Amino acid sequence: MFFRIALAGAAWGICACVPSTHVLVGQARPPVTPDQVTIYSHPPAHYEPIATLDANSKSAFGTGGQKSVDKVIERLKIEAAKLGANGLILEGFSDSETGSIGTGVGSESYSRRSAVGVGVGGSLGIYKKTGHGEAIYVPPTP
């Protein structure tokens, strides 16, 4: 029984750390380089959907902000390029707490007529930036 629980925990841990995933919704094409993938905030006039993509920053203690967003976009572009997409429609970003670390210290003092106790604690959340997008193929304009 313990072995099964340990194996399930290890499998979950491996899956939780995957930096990018995709689900095909159209036809994949021959791979391209990530620098050939154009980022779109809104869908272009004509395109063919290839896949929905998810990627994460995978940096637990990162400062977040633009650096984490850039890492997610980079991973989305890499995943799109593997599928032959020359475009990527960004659909959103989110932060998820993947855990926390906490610590505390305390002290106490006793005498015949009194007792004093003091404690201090703190915790730090561990966050991961996640991005979602759609890998697309934009045909060349004539």
pLDDT (tens digit, 9 = 90+) per residue, 31-88? 999 999 999 999 999 999 999 999 888 755 555 678 888 889 999 999 999 999 999 9
CA torsion angle 56 62 64 66 (round to 10): -80
What domains can be seen in the chain, in order of their start residue? 20-97+128-137 (3.30.110.70)
**CA-CA distance, 98 to 122, in Å (whole number)?**
17
How many beta carbons lie within 10 A of that of residue 128, not counting itself? 21
Nearest CA among 89, 94, 80 for reference residue 41: 89
**Residue in the structure block whose two tokens are 């007529």:** 113
CA gap 130, 100 in Å, rounded: 18
Supply φ then ψ for residue 108, to 5 degrees.
-140, 155
The strands making up 115-137's β-sheet, listed across from edge to edge, are 20-24, 48-56, 115-137, 87-110, 38-40
Range of lowest pLDDT (5-9, 50-54, 138-142): 5-9
pTM listed for this prediction: 0.66
Average pLDDT, the chain: 79
